[in-house]
Amino acid sequence: MSENYLKLIPRDSYFIPDESTHQDAIELLEKLTPDGEEVEAEVYSELTFIDQGQNLEEINCPSCSTSLKQNIYTEDETDCEKIFNQISEQSDDEELDSGIIQMPCCSNEVKTTDLTFKWTAGFAKFELSVLNPQISEQLSEENVAALSKILGCELLQIWAHY
> Judging by DSSP bridges, how do beta strands 100-102 and 109-111 pair with one another?
antiparallel
Give how many domains the chain has, as a whole number.
2
Residue numbers of the domain that contains 76: 58-116
107 and 64 together in one domain: yes
CA gyration radius, the chain:
16
Q: Nearest 10 degrees: CA dihedral of 102, 106, 108, 112?
A: -50
129 and 86 together in one domain: no
- Tens digits of residue pLDDT in 53-81: 888 889 999 999 999 988 767 778 888 88
8 and 45 together in one domain: yes
100 and 133 together in one domain: no
107 and 127 together in one domain: no
64 and 42 together in one domain: no
94 and 124 together in one domain: no
37 and 70 together in one domain: no
Question: Which of 75, 78, 80, 88 lies closest to 58 in space, CA to CA?
Answer: 80
18 and 46 together in one domain: yes
This model's pTM is above 0.85: yes
- How high is the mean pLDDT of the chain? 92
Beta bridge partners of 9: 156
